[in-house]
A and B are shown apart, each in its own frame.
Chain A
Amino acid sequence: MSLFYLIPLLPFLGFAINGLAFPKLSKSVAGIIGTIPPLVAFALSLQLFLNFDGQAQIYTLAEWIKVGNLSIPFEFQVDQLSLLMLLIITGVGTLIHVYSMGYMAHDAGFGKFFAFLNLFVFFMLILVLGANFTVLFIGWEGVGLCSYLLIGFWNQKNSYGDAARKAFIMNRIGDLGFLVGIFLLIQNFNTTSYSVIFQEIAAGNVPENVGLIAFCLFIGAMGKSAQIPLFTWLPDAMAGPTPVSALIHAATMVTAGIYMVIRANVIFELSPEVLHFVGWIGLATALLGAAIGLFQNDIKKVLAYSTVSQLGYMFMGLGASAYTASFFHVMTHAFFKALLFLGAGSVIHAMSDEQDIRKMGGLKSKMPITYITFLLGTIAIAGIPPFAGFFSKDEILAHLYHHDFAMWCLAIVGSALTSFYMFRVFILTFFGDFRGTEAQAHHLHESPISMTFPLMVLAVLSVVGGLINLPHFAGGNEFLAHWLAPILPASGEASEVSFLSLEMGAPLLAAFLPAFFAIYLFGVQKSVPAADESITGIQKVIYNKFYIDELYDVIIVKPISVLGNFCSQVVEFLVIDLIVEGVGRIVAYASTEFRRIQTGNVGYYIFVMVLSIAVILAVSLRTWIL
């Protein structure tokens, strides 16, 4: 047994202890028990990362499912990709655990919350460490479960429970696709191990239906990473406590889809049509998310749609085979989006659970640390250099420019929208006059150190995170690209560009202009978004998320419940049971009819007896006489 197994095991132990002892353990102890496992796991991952020799290592723990000649072991793989994911999960995870100690301090379910968080970290680690698609699937479904439990953490409220169920069920739709992908892989390779499958493919043993496999796997990614058409659960998932939104619905779980596609890049590379599809789905999601984000007034909803949109960017990158760029964006996004969510959480905490930005304003002076860190996050996500988001997003855009010009243009539009809505939220929250109630104003305060410390760490990462893959033209050495190169297809380097070209200039303009416009509109003119009732026209359509939820309700949810009612009330009783009971009825009817013969009159019986004897005699004598 190597120390490696401790990495997933520790969070599981944390979960087990906190889960079993939940009602009895005091909050401070529960918090510490919950936070230490990811921290130690982070240290262990770091040690693995530093000692990594470039050779993927596979740890086989035990046989799991063995049927016929199919064998699926519990096996784990440590390589370039999983190491980076390990660092993100345990690193950001630890920060968010620390943050939660402050954020959830007044919650009765404190220990339970940490138990769930640890369970999530455990499953997420299984997801990235798995050395075959089935073990990945354990984590894949497991994080879905934790997401369900944490979104519905305050389960007294029915709408939260509904959001949680929606998340789980939409994920399950994707999971079905993923499962089908696994079955197809088993059919073709009789295994789900990455190493075997990728070697077979490298050896030229390409299955005919490789496109279908890639497509099915991508359906799984659509569900988990909230892409069209399975994205509507993510904004609703904001019902969960804010640290959950930061950890699960921004930094880690939702990027599992991207991780999986990168992991299976060998398969995806073989099917250009699917990659094309991935790219366009990503683009459509990015634009849709950004457009809806424009007019949302709930601070977490804006961030949620922004996450949907950023995930879209990552898939766009994948569609253009820019795996490194996408992964780069996964990393920087984990930093700045976790930062923004935690910042929003800090604001919500101070505002006594108010989430509407129309009721905020002027928080700058009251919460300086939150203000500064949120500002850094906003700049990073808007793509303003030299912050982390700029480099990662720009790298995706650069690849798109060479891949598909139309996509590039649309992506620039999305980027402009992002910049606008992020600055809108930022200005409305922190500048201008306070628009909340007296009581809220009185209560305003900066969050405790346990909450501001993670903010500061993440802010630093959001600023300097771009250095990890700094392109050559900016003086970097493209560490990430070199690091990931062994597991990715050989790709042409993005060509050298200058800041003056269209390729470089347009994204910069798209980042700066909308930001200035938002600052002008909300900072200088001090306009405040209208109340819900007075929104009209196209704005209303967008504000109501293009009525997509309603659409799904009409075309999927309603028909299923109508079908269910129809089956249970009509088919069940009028068709099937009628036939079954009908047989019984016929027997009963026949017996009432035949019963009439039984008059009970003895004389009548004797008469029938005599008559019958006579008939029998006649019949038997007939043959005898003739």
Chain B
Amino acid sequence: MQSIPEVLRTIPLTHYILFSSALFCIGILGVLTRRNAIIVFMAIELMLNAVNLLLAAFSSYYADPAGQIFVFFIMAVAAAEVAVGLAIIVMIYRNIQSIDIGVLNKIKN
């Protein structure tokens, strides 16, 4: 039975890097282009997960558990963030009947 780090190491590191970068870029593009607040939120999660994946990969390649601990931290924070963020989005929707971030320019004035 192979340990999980060993399984992870079966795929070359470059692949992880490329894949994570691709995910991260998709996340960025999602944040930049989409106007629906929930989708923007999901795109942010995507970026976080890209980072998580990379951390896990490096952690196993360098045999350093710190990376995996970080992953757990990030997941916990992300969960909290989602909870708060979604609550905010719900409040915004109740107020302006929309979750289009283009409408959220009240700060300008």
- Whether the Cβ atoms of B101 and A600 lie closer than 8 Å is no
Closest to A603 in B: B101
A516 at the B interface (CB under 8 A) = no
B107 at the A interface (CB under 8 A) = yes
Residue among A598, A599, A603 with the most chain B CB within 10 A? A603
A601 at the B interface (CB under 8 A) = yes
Nearest CB of chain B from residue A85's CB, rounded to whole Å:
83
A602 at the B interface (CB under 8 A) = yes
Contacts of B101 in A (CB 8 A): 601-603
Contacts of A598 in B (CB 8 A): 107-108
Of the candidates B28, B31, B105, which one forms a contact with A600 in the assembled complex, judged by CB atoms under 8 Å apart? Answer: B105
- Whether the Cβ atoms of A607 and B32 lie closer than 8 Å is yes
- Whether the Cβ atoms of B108 and A600 lie closer than 8 Å is yes
A603–B104 Cα gap in the complex (Å)?
10
A1 at the B interface (CB under 8 A) = no
Nearest CB of chain B from residue A460's CB, rounded to whole Å:
96
Q: Mark B66-109, 1 if CB is under 8 A from A, else 0.
A: 00000000000000000000000000000000000110111111
Number of A-B contacts (CB under 8 A): 30
Contacts of A574 in B (CB 8 A): none
Contacts of B104 in A (CB 8 A): 600, 602
B35 at the A interface (CB under 8 A) = yes
A202 at the B interface (CB under 8 A) = no
- Whether the Cβ atoms of B105 and A599 lie closer than 8 Å is yes
Contacts of A606 in B (CB 8 A): 31-32, 40
Contacts of B33 in A (CB 8 A): 603
A535 at the B interface (CB under 8 A) = no
A610 at the B interface (CB under 8 A) = yes
A610–B108 Cα gap in the complex (Å)?
20
Nearest CB of chain B from residue A583's CB, rounded to whole Å:
27
Contacts of A603 in B (CB 8 A): 31-33, 35, 101-102
Contacts of A602 in B (CB 8 A): 101-102, 104-105
- Whether the Cβ atoms of A600 and B32 lie closer than 8 Å is no
A610–B109 Cα gap in the complex (Å)?
24
Contacts of B102 in A (CB 8 A): 601-603
Closest to A613 in B: B28
Contacts of A600 in B (CB 8 A): 104-109
Q: Mark A595-622, 1 if CB is under 8 A from B, else 0.
A: 0001111110011001000000000000
Q: How many residues of B contact A (CB 8 A)?
A: 14
A602–B104 Cα gap in the complex (Å)?
7
A465–B70 Cα gap in the complex (Å)?
119
Closest to A602 in B: B101
Closest to B101 in A: A602
Nearest CB of chain B from residue A211's CB, rounded to whole Å:
77
A599–B105 Cα gap in the complex (Å)?
7
Of residues 1 to 41 in B, which have CB atoms within 8 Å of A's CB atoms? 28, 31-33, 35, 40
Nearest CB of chain B from residue A597's CB, rounded to whole Å:
11
A456–B102 Cα gap in the complex (Å)?
107
- Whether the Cβ atoms of A610 and B31 lie closer than 8 Å is yes
Nearest CB of chain B from residue A514's CB, rounded to whole Å:
93
Nearest CB of chain A from residue B6's CB, rounded to whole Å:
31
Closest to B34 in A: A603
Contacts of A601 in B (CB 8 A): 101-102, 105
Closest to B104 in A: A602
Contacts of B109 in A (CB 8 A): 600
Nearest CB of chain B from residue A601's CB, rounded to whole Å:
5
- Whether the Cβ atoms of A610 and B105 lie closer than 8 Å is no
Closest to A606 in B: B31
A603–B37 Cα gap in the complex (Å)?
10
A601–B32 Cα gap in the complex (Å)?
11
A384–B35 Cα gap in the complex (Å)?
117
Closest to B35 in A: A603
Nearest CB of chain A from residue B1's CB, rounded to whole Å:
40
A601–B35 Cα gap in the complex (Å)?
10
A330–B108 Cα gap in the complex (Å)?
87
Closest to A609 in B: B31
Q: Mark A279-307, 1 if CB is under 8 A from B, else 0.
A: 00000000000000000000000000000
Closest to B29 in A: A610
- Whether the Cβ atoms of B106 and A610 lie closer than 8 Å is no
A610–B28 Cα gap in the complex (Å)?
8
A606–B107 Cα gap in the complex (Å)?
15
Of residues 193 to 242 in A, which have CB atoms within 8 Å of B's CB atoms? none
Contacts of B35 in A (CB 8 A): 603
A603–B102 Cα gap in the complex (Å)?
7
Contacts of B105 in A (CB 8 A): 599-602
Nearest CB of chain A from residue B33's CB, rounded to whole Å:
8
Q: Which residues of A contact B (CB under 8 A)?
A: 598-603, 606-607, 610
A-B contact sample (5 more), CB < 8 A, given A602-B102, A606-B31: A599-B108, A602-B101, A603-B33, A603-B35, A606-B40
Q: Which 6 A-B pairs have the closest CB atoms?
A: A600-B108, A600-B105, A602-B101, A600-B107, A606-B31, A607-B32
6 pairs, A vs B, C-beta closer than 8 Å = A599-B108, A602-B101, A603-B33, A603-B101, A603-B102, A610-B28
